[in-house]
Structure 1
Amino acid sequence: MKEFMALNNNLKLRMLTVFLAVMLSSSVGPNMTIYYAKYFGASITGVLLIIVSALGFVAGLYGGHLADVHGRKPIMVAGSLLTLLGFAIAAAMNSPLGRYPVPTFFGFLIAQVGGAITSPAEEAMVIDVSTPKNRRYVYALIYWIINISVMIGAALGGWFFRDYLFELLVGMIAVTIINLIIIQFFMTESFTPDHSLSGSVWQAVRGYLGVLSDHRYDWYLVGMVLSGIVTGQLGYYLAVHLGADFHTVRLFGLEIYGQRMLSGITLINTAIIIPFMSLFTRLTQAWSLRRAYTIGMALQTLGFALACLFNTLWPMVACAVILTIGEMIVVPPSQTLRADLMDPEKIGTYSGAFSAVNPMANILCGATVTLSAWLGGIGMAILFGLLGGLSILVVVHVIGMKPTHAPEQAE
């Protein structure tokens, strides 16, 4: 508690806004795929999701640049206003008066773009007001809060989405307004923007070309994409593997089949992280970034690779425990390293560049599903082992490279 109270006020408020925003978005966002499939069909839904991801990706890049041009707060406020507008449209189109799927999609599209614009500015503000000394603690705490929020949000969505979508959307509007008030009236600007820069698209492109010239950060992004291919498999190959190969069992009267086992891995993950994240943060606080990333990523890779080989309950539970322990070890140092690698004058742009990692990793995750038809379970386990090992080699190489920017590096 003493360490928390010593944090910058912006960080404390950020914890609150993260909790509220993630809780409500987790209750509605994942279920919208079901909503779209019901009204548009599976093939159209796939196209709509690609459109949302593509626009969100572009908005994230541009939002990162704008955060360096105009400061963090104005972009966070502007993105929140867009999000509010999007949720208001979606709520109005799903009121007791009727449901209108097409304007609902555009409402959520606006909200997603608003969130994508805001995200790099929020990340930049966290880096601005944290220090190399407390950054690992800050990221661990935010990660812990996100897991609690996701768990509560998933429960809310599971119980209320089908019959009370309008009420959930009204709740999202209320939460967005609360977060907007917190940002506008209680957070302070953490960055003095460079007024020689402009918000033009060409200036943004030049900014990202500058990031690409930072080879240390480029290699870090490569390492994170490699890592993301392994750790993103719950929604890709492992879902296929468990759906096709898992041996259904009964546990305490409940039938556990492939889809439930997949959800069970997520539940085990969350159930371990919530009580034990702070303990693992303390235990690994003195570890170097190199040691923490190597051990954490190795355990995550081992957990995912073994999961490709097993198809029964208790070995899969063991895999879930192993990969979760690795996750608790690797996430805070990985995020700390990312902050250390950024140019302090261009943190927004660097954060925007990082927003490309998940879309790239997800595309490659999809490719692994196709490969699995030829490689089989053993081949996929070997592939994940190789990708995880490459990620470790790349990130360790990054840590050992000569610092590009100033001197807040931790070995």
Structure 2
Amino acid sequence: MMKEFLQLDRNLKLRMLTMFLVAILNSSVLPNMTIYYSHYFGTLVTGGLLIAVSVASFLAGLYGGHLADVYGRKPVMIGGGLLIAVGYAVAAAMNSPWIHDPQVTFIGFLVAGVGSSGANPAEQAMIIDASTPANRQYVYSLSYWIVNISVMIGSALGGWFFRDYLFELLTGMIVVSIVNLGIVSLGMREIEHATAAVSNSLRSLVHAYREVMTDQRYLLFLIGWVFACIISSQPDYYLAVHLGADFHPTTIMGLHLYGQRMLSMVTITNTVMIVVLMGVFTRISRGWRLARTYTLGVTLSALGFASAFVGDRFWPLILSAVILTLGEMFVVPSSQTLRADMMNPARIGVYSGAMMAVNPLASVIAGLLVSVSGLLDNWGMAAVMILCGLASIGLVGRSAGMPATY
């Protein structure tokens, strides 16, 4: 594994480092901001603020993808990095010992979110530019492993420091964002890539995304990936509801577990397995057809969540967590590699930008499923997971078998 890492392009090695830093940055602060906003603005206003951030981030991702094709990956990444640093600086200043302003704090985080989302398609495009079909699955497996480690670290930092040391935490985040910006500016190089983008105008942007939406193969993949994301998003949606309502409290090794803690146990099981076993699964699946790996992964994920929805005891739920995590370790690298292979080399930025629509759409559908779960009960929701898995496998499998049309 180390030998393969050392053979990677310099941009990929540095991208792994920046990915590690950014994931720590995001996971230490962002999950706790909902609590922060709720405290100062109330739940109704907080919901509106979160929607505003989601919409702004989505639009920034679309435009950032187009700009990555017009100006190149590195300038867009630098621009996004500057916005992140400025946003965190504003947020830190507004939570300092001298000033406290939650309204301006929101603006700071909005600026940082726009910068992060705007740079994301360029970051994804740079990975594709710097990798090869032979090493791309390894690159995505490695990046996924790194993100999980950094999320563990970032979550611990946020949980420990957010409430009582927010200013100090945000100051540390400024330092991290500046270091990240320096790595991109001084260490990375722009890789020559084919591009069909000639203008940064709104008309050119609309034309570029219209081309993506007429690529039937990629469109089928996106729709199939929406169904997979509905499955993977369940810890934040129905699984949390189910465990809160139906889990039978128990004591394991002196630790009293109830619904919320059981959800944490599922998350911990998932993260630890990925950190420990991701390399093994990368070697196991190497040489497999990507569509086969994806099918196996989605099948296990759907079965894992379906069984979790009908489970209400500790050990069956841990087994479900193991199954869904096994699926996740197959799904993520194979899906990212399939996606990269389907992109028009001249439109990688906007193809990456189009992916920005998937998670918001999956989140909306997952939320609607929570709303109708009272009519479906646990077994009905388990059946929905199986149907989502079948739909994802069918659509992605069909797209993988189609010839390129660009």
TM range (shorter): over 0.9
1:395 is aligned to: 396
1:68 is aligned to: 69
1:304 aligns with 2:339: no
2:275 is aligned to: 274
Quick one: distance in 1 between partners of 2:197 and 2:71?
11
Quick one: distance in 2 between partners of 1:282 and 1:194?
34
Deviation at 1:196, TM superposition (A): 6.2
Letter in 2 for 1:257: Y
Letter in 2 for 1:56: S
Letter in 2 for 1:45: T
Letter in 2 for 1:202: R
Quick one: distance in 1 between partners of 2:305 and 2:202?
40
Quick one: distance in 2 between partners of 1:25 and 1:174?
14
Q: Once the two structures are superposed, what CA deviation does each residue of 1:308-334 show, in whole Å capped at 9, x if it has no partner?
A: 101111110000000001111111111
1:49 aligns with 2:50: yes
1:3 aligns with 2:4: yes
Correspondences of 1:323-338 after superposition (within 5 Å): 323-338=324-339
- Mapped contact 1:89–1:107 kept (Cα < 8 A): yes
Q: Once the two structures are superposed, what CA deviation does each residue of 1:186-210 show, in whole Å capped at 9, x if it has no partner?
A: 1000235758611111211110000
Quick one: distance in 1 between partners of 2:14 and 2:403?
35
- Mapped contact 1:70–1:193 kept (Cα < 8 A): no
Q: Secondary structure at the match of 1:308?
A: helix
Instruction: Give the alignment's Cα RMSD to 1 decimal.
Output: 1.0
Quick one: distance in 2 between partners of 1:300 and 1:275?
19
- Mapped contact 2:195–2:345 kept (Cα < 8 A): no
1:257 is aligned to: 258
Letter in 1 for 2:170: L
2:353 is aligned to: 352
Quick one: distance in 1 between partners of 2:83 and 2:404?
38
1:230 is aligned to: 231
Q: Once the two structures are superposed, what CA deviation does each residue of 1:36-61 show, in whole Å capped at 9, x if it has no partner?
A: 00000111101100000000000000
Deviation at 1:404, TM superposition (A): 2.7
Cα pair distance change 1:89/1:170, threshold 3 Å? same
- Mapped contact 1:341–1:404 kept (Cα < 8 A): no
Deviation at 1:253, TM superposition (A): 1.5
Quick one: distance in 1 between partners of 2:93 and 2:136?
41
Quick one: distance in 2 between partners of 1:190 and 1:335?
20
Quick one: distance in 1 between partners of 2:154 and 2:90?
21
2:212 is aligned to: 211
2:104 is aligned to: 103
1:21 is aligned to: 22
Q: Once the two structures are superposed, what CA deviation does each residue of 1:262-304 show, in whole Å capped at 9, x if it has no partner?
A: 1111110001000100000001101101210111110000000
Quick one: distance in 2 between partners of 1:162 and 1:196?
46
Deviation at 1:212, TM superposition (A): 0.5
Correspondences of 1:113-152 after superposition (within 5 Å): 113-152=114-153
Q: Once the two structures are superposed, what CA deviation does each residue of 1:12-50 show, in whole Å capped at 9, x if it has no partner?
A: 000000101111211111000000000001111011000
- Mapped contact 1:71–1:193 kept (Cα < 8 A): no
2:40 is aligned to: 39
Letter in 2 for 1:128: D
Structure 1 stretch 182-191 or stretch 344-353: which is displaced more? 182-191
Q: Secondary structure at the match of 2:92?
A: helix
1:243 is aligned to: 244
Letter in 2 for 1:362: S
Quick one: distance in 1 between partners of 2:402 and 2:218?
10
Q: Secondary structure at the match of 2:152?
A: helix
Deviation at 1:381, TM superposition (A): 0.6
Letter in 2 for 1:141: L
Quick one: distance in 1 between partners of 2:249 and 2:44?
30
Q: Secondary structure at the match of 2:310?
A: coil
Q: How many residues are paired up?
A: 405
Structure 1 stretch 134-143 or stretch 177-186: which is displaced more? 177-186
2:379 is aligned to: 378
Unaligned runs of 5+ in 1: 406-411
Cα pair distance change 1:195/1:212, threshold 3 Å? closer
Quick one: distance in 2 between partners of 1:196 and 1:325?
40
Deviation at 1:231, TM superposition (A): 1.1
Letter in 2 for 1:204: L
Structure 1 stretch 53-62 or stretch 187-196: which is displaced more? 187-196
Cα pair distance change 1:303/1:195, threshold 3 Å? closer
Q: Once the two structures are superposed, what CA deviation does each residue of 1:372-392 show, in whole Å capped at 9, x if it has no partner?
A: 010000111111101111100
Q: Secondary structure at the match of 1:250?
A: strand
Quick one: distance in 1 between partners of 2:384 and 2:304?
13
Q: Secondary structure at the match of 2:164?
A: coil
Q: Once the two structures are superposed, what CA deviation does each residue of 1:100-159 show, in whole Å capped at 9, x if it has no partner?
A: 100000000000000010000000000001000000000000000000000000011111
- Mapped contact 2:9–2:130 kept (Cα < 8 A): yes
Cα pair distance change 1:193/1:200, threshold 3 Å? farther
TM-score in terms of structure 2 length:
0.98
Quick one: distance in 2 between partners of 1:243 and 1:319?
17
Deviation at 1:99, TM superposition (A): 2.0
Q: Once the two structures are superposed, what CA deviation does each residue of 1:343-363 show, in whole Å capped at 9, x if it has no partner?
A: 001100000001110000000
Deviation at 1:371, TM superposition (A): 1.5
Quick one: distance in 2 between partners of 1:41 and 1:237?
23
Quick one: distance in 1 between partners of 2:196 and 2:76?
15
Letter in 2 for 1:164: Y
